[in-house]
Chains A and B, each alone.
Chain A
Amino acid sequence: MGSFWGLRWVLNRILHLAPVALLATFFVFGMLYLVPGDPAVTLAGENATLQHIQEIRALYGLDRPVVIQYADWLNHVAHGNLSVSLLSGEPVAGEIAHRLPNTLLIVAGALGLSLLVGVPLSIAAALRPGSRFDHWSMAIASSGVSIPSFWLAMALVSVFALGFHWFPATGATSLSDGVGEALRHIALPAIALSANGIATIARQLRTAFAETLAAPYVRTLRAKGLSPAAILWKHCLKNVSVPLLTVIGLLANRLLGATIVIEIVFAIPGIGSMVVNAAINKDFPVVQGVVLVTVALVIAINLMVDGLCRLLDPRIARA
């Protein structure tokens, strides 16, 4: 019976998400219409041959009604065809698939690091609310969201890559080429990205922990002689898991955006550097492809977060 309701919930969520996902594809498609003038002429750039302009027109089917263009484009997307790059002529989907692992590795590393530092920090601050440690750690966390992460990345490169030679300054290697080397490559980008993540997690979770620790049931647990550690790990963490998951979902969205500039700093061949170069070179199919894949990732992550929250807290399911 339980799995039946679970299935129903999944179907429900998908039904709810369908319009959002469809709208998202429409926005990505519609970006083409923000291109000033005749998109084919503008995208072909200066000194374009008539043939090149015709190619772009044919690629987008710009001579047909918008609805047909969209349906056609969507049909291609549904079959995994994200068109071809105007510059290289290579399929966009293949290039994204090739580069995505590099991006995901940095994002995962940054997320892991943010949790590893942010969660203990929030617990330490919440255990002594109003203390000097609480005050200062939260003040520093507040300023953590104001640091330009790419500037932090530059400073890290300057000190730890060019100064001490502890880490490589640029590039990326895949996990399959050796875990150690891959981790050495993502270390600095992940640290640069995580400053913002640590600050966000520390601040949001501190509030959540402080609220839980002040709850009447915690007083009862304390009264019956349970050790603070047991109260924290067995009871509070369970109650904080939902806000924690929500923050993780939010962070995944932010990190996927912030990693773009970080990839430029470290010359990492991910989808971030791909979309920036495409935008500069007016390679619009590539821009659309990357934006589409990113938003699909975010929607999928949000779906997972919702599902996990529901599993962890049956109260959400009943509501």
Chain B
Amino acid sequence: MRAISVDIAPRTDTVLRRIGRWLMSDWRAAAAVAYLGLLLLLSLSAPLIAPYSPTAQDINAMLEDPNAAHWLGTDDIGRDTLSRLIYGAPISLFASLLAVSVGLALGVPIGLCAGYLGGWVDAIISRVIETMMSFPGIVLAIGVTGALGIGLIHAMIAVGIVFAPEFARLTRAQTMLVRHELYVDAARSFGASPLRIMLRHILPNAFQPVLVQTTILLAIALLVEASLSFVGLGIQPPYPSWGSMLARAYANMDVAPAQMYPPGLAILLTALAFNALGEALRTAINRGSITEAGQT
């Protein structure tokens, strides 16, 4: 084993090493990755870090300003804002991931089929994509949530359905680019099944643009989750999400105006990190600094 690794190491440039070099060269990407990594760590260790339970009420400490016992103050029923902010992180992150996963799971296969099969399958799917993109995303999400029933999971599945046409359109376009390439014809002439060609030979080409889109849609999912939870269609009490914290803060704005800044800034910074990472990835992919193509 050892002999082999020694033999290979000098020749190949591992993906990890390329990513490392990319992060060293792009401070924006590095900052975004560092922030998101920290947030993930915080999410996983919320019970260890948070000073209070996120649902523990203290009627002797309602709507307090930041102080030594409650670093970020308390909400209208005496719950510690810092603890709710920390416990809200995994909920908001999970919600964003769920929405984007649903969008990927629905959109990518549909786009792959449309692009590869062409003909009337493509014609119908393209019309459906065009139609769905005519709906303002959040309106459609509210409609679907209204049908499925309110709650965080339903709301994020609804957002995923809204994302699906975006992924389908992107995958379709990438598939169209390569479906007549020589290596696809070669695979076909070897008798590879359409499914195998789509998965093994065509799908990898769509990976990079889909990755960029995934990162940017994570930011949008986070903002939409906050919006839906703010208006009461997303997470239900007593669980905290950054959006529902803003709803409580808004209701008590005349007494404790400072309560709206922690969750708002958390949403802003996280969306900013996802967006920055997405744009940095796009630049890096265009330059070819992560892909192997850039190395040769």
User: In the assembly, what is the distance between CA of A12 and CA of B261, in Å?
Assistant: 51
- Which residues between 12 and 32 of chain A lie within 8 Å of chain B, taking CB atoms? 19-20, 23-24, 27-28, 31-32
B227 and A261 form a contact (CB under 8 A): yes
Residues on A with beta carbons closer than 8 Å to the beta carbon of B223: 146, 148
A22: min CB distance to chain B, Å: 9
Q: A282-B146, A287-B146 are in contact. Are A155 and B139 (CB under 8 A)?
A: no
B162 to A, closest residue via Cβ: A257
State the majority secondary structure of interface residues on A. helix
Docked-complex contact B134 and A260, CB < 8 angstroms: no
Q: Which residue of B lies closest to A196 (CB)?
A: B223
B110-150 with Cβ < 8 A to chain A? 127-128, 130-132, 134-140, 142-150
* Bound Cα distance from A265 to B227, whole angstroms: 11
Please report the C-alpha to C-alpha distance between residue A76 and residue B178 in the assembled complex, in whole angstroms: 46
**Does A92 sit within 8 A of B, measured CB to CB?**
no
Residue of B nearest to A34 (CB): B147
Query: Are B134 and A276 in contact, with the CB atoms below 8 A?
Result: no
Are A294 and B135 interface neighbours, CB within 8 A?
yes
Q: Is residue B97 within 8 Å, beta carbon to beta carbon, of the partner chain?
A: no
Q: Are B253 and A157 in contact (CB under 8 A)?
A: yes
- Chain B residue nearest to A297 in the complex (CB): B136
Q: Which residues of A contact B264 (CB under 8 A)?
A: 148, 151, 154-155
Q: Is the Cβ of A276 less than 8 Å from the Cβ of B135?
A: no
Chain A, residue nearest B269 (CB): A146
Whether A154 and B219, one on each chain, are in contact in the complex, defined by CB atoms closer than 8 angstroms, is: no
Evaluate contact between A32 and B139: CB separation under 8 angstroms: no
A31-B246 CB under 8 A given contacts A19-B127, A291-B140? no
B65: chain A residues at CB < 8 Å are none
Within 8 A of B (CB), among A136-186: 142-143, 145-148, 150-151, 154-155, 157-158, 162
Size category of the binding interface on chain B: 35 or more
> What's the nearest-Cβ distance from chain A to residue B40, in Å?
19
Question: Does chain A have a CB within 8 A of B231?
Answer: yes
- The answer to whether A279 touches B227, judged by C-beta atoms less than 8 angstroms apart, is no
In the bound complex, how far is the Cα of B81 from the Cα of A15, in angstroms? 55
> A146 and B271 in contact (CB under 8 A), knowing A154-B250, A256-B136?
yes
B-contact bits for A239-257, CB 8 A (1 contact / 0 none)? 0000000000000011011
Compute how far the CA of A208 lies from the CA of B133 in the bound complex, rounded to whole angstroms: 24
**Residue numbers in A under 8 Å from B132 (CB-CB):** 27
Q: Which residues of B contact A291 (CB under 8 A)?
A: 135, 139-140, 142-143
B239-282 near A? 1/0 per residue, CB < 8 Å? 00000001001100110010010001001100110011001000
Contacts of A308 in B (CB 8 A): none
B147–A284 touching, CB < 8 Å? yes
Are A154 and B249 neighbours in the complex by a CB distance under 8 Å? Answer: yes
Is B268's CB under 8 angstroms from A294's CB?
A: no
| Cα separation A154 to B259 with both chains bound (whole Å) | 11
B226 at the binding interface (Cβ < 8 Å):
yes
Please classify how large the interface on chain A is, using the bins under 10, 10 to 19, 20 to 34, 35 or more: 35 or more
Question: Of all chain B residues, which has the CB nearest A298?
Answer: B134
CB-CB under 8 A from A143, the residues of chain B are 268, 272, 275
By the criterion CB–CB under 8 Å, are B137 and A257 in contact?
yes
- Out of A146, A155, A265, name the residue touching B275 (CB < 8 Å): A146
Closest to B141 in A: A257
CB-CB nearest in chain A for B128: A23
Bound complex: CA of A34 vs CA of B140, how far in Å?
13
User: In angstroms, how far is the closest chain A Cβ from the Cβ of B149?
Assistant: 7
Binary per-residue interface labels of chain B (35-51) against chain A in the complex, 1 for a CB within 8 Å, 0 otherwise: 00000000000000000
Contact with B along A22-63 (1 / 0, CB 8 A): 011001100110111000001000000000000000000000
Residues of A within 8 A of B139 (CB): 256-257, 260, 275, 290-291, 294-295
The reply to whether A27 and B131 contact each other, CB–CB distance below 8 Å, is yes
- Report Cα–Cα, A285/B19, bound state, in Å: 51
Residues in A with CB closer than 8 Å to B231 are 260-261, 264, 276
Does B167 sit at the interface, judged by CB under 8 A? no
Bound-complex Cα distance A20 to B267 (A): 35
Q: In the complex the two chains form, is A150's CB within 8 Å of B253's CB?
A: no
In the complex, what residue of chain B is closest to A163 when comparing beta carbons?
B257
Which A residue sits closest to B136, measured CB to CB? A257
14 pairs, A vs B, C-beta closer than 8 Å: A24-B135, A27-B135, A32-B147, A148-B264, A150-B230, A151-B260, A154-B250, A155-B264, A257-B138, A279-B150, A287-B143, A288-B143, A290-B139, A302-B134
**What are the 8 closest A-B residue pairs judged by CB atoms, nearest first?**
A257-B136, A279-B146, A34-B147, A146-B271, A257-B138, A151-B264, A23-B131, A287-B146
Which A residues contact B (CB, under 8 angstroms)? 19-20, 23-24, 27-28, 31-32, 34-36, 42, 142-143, 145-148, 150-151, 154-155, 157-158, 162, 253-254, 256-258, 260-261, 264-265, 275-276, 278-280, 282, 284, 287-288, 290-291, 294-295, 298-299, 302
Add 6 more A-B contacts to A260-B227, A261-B138, A264-B231 (CB < 8 A).
Answer: A27-B135, A36-B149, A158-B257, A257-B137, A278-B146, A291-B135
Which B positions have Cβ atoms within 8 angstroms of A?
Answer: 127-128, 130-132, 134-140, 142-150, 219, 223, 226-227, 230-233, 246, 249-250, 253-254, 257, 260, 264, 267-268, 271-272, 275-276, 279
